[in-house]
Structure 1
Amino acid sequence: MMLVRYLVWLPTYDETSVIKLLHSDNPQDVPRAIELMQAIVDFSKSQHALLNDSFSSNVKTRADLMSIKLLSYVIKSILMPFINIKLLLSEQVHHLSCYSHLAFTIFCSCMIGGHNSRCMYSQTLNCLGAAKYIDDMFKRHSELDPGHQCLSLGKCIEDIDHINW
């Protein structure tokens, strides 16, 4: 539903066409899948300036746009080597390497701590290794770093363990 909400911002799509892209009658429709992936990449390119500006004070919208931007990096890095016949072999390898690093980093950042907050020594080493990979990725590709966000609660509330956006 998030993609339906935002892909309609592209001039070539309306809600019906976006829903058709996302929910095809034929799940093996490769041209439709490629069109969907290219639409996500195009959307991310069109919203790049808006993410850099103070476009939205709505944190949820901004988080959605940043998530789509990250998704578009992943999609572009896996899609380009297979659809752009003008790429050199080294450029294809670069894209595929970027994809594998992004996919691994995203996997590691979802799994830090896992479902068990009490981890063993070896798990702690794995988590630290994953954090190191993430840190290295952000150092090499600073455009992927979302930066820090500060929450203002307005007043000091004790014993808060969860804050809803």
Structure 2
Amino acid sequence: MADNEFDEIKFKQAVDMSTFSQVLAMDDEGECQFSLSMVLEFFDQGKNTLPDMENALQVSPFYVTLSHLNDCSVIFTAFSVQRDLPKLSFLARFLKGSASAYGLRKVRQCCEKIEHYGSKRNEDGSAAEYDEDLCLSRINSEIGILRNTLTEAQMAFEFFYKTKLA
């Protein structure tokens, strides 16, 4: 079996069954359509939230053309600064809640760290006096981990439902 394939042990490492069983309890007897639709909705949410997080980290250039300066057009490069810690914290908290509902421990942990860094706190939530650049750097690293963790969670659910989710 390749490292990226799932078995029962890897599934249980990725998904807390005591939590996920509460979602499964909402399914009709012998069917998993309701829980599957909820899981699919979660991954759609993740696919939409990650780019929003990445955008909140960006410093994007844009160009401004000023005309009529001595009959010359002058082009300046300016920067649009998105670097929005409160937004990053909010988005992480949003995704963390959903991950918790499905028993996705690692996803929840990543989101929790991003949420704390977005509030200029330590990864465990304790008070800190971090500057914005350090928090953004840590969030950037954690978003990479979150992306991989979401992929792992998707593979776990594909194993469980025996169907491709993407």
Give the TM bin, normalised by the shorter chain: under 0.3
Using CA pairs under 8 Å that are at least 6 residues apart, name the structure with larger relative contact order, 1 or 2: 2
Q: Which has the higher strand share?
A: 2
Report which of the two structures shows the higher radius of gyration computed on alpha carbons. 2
More helix as a share of residues: 1
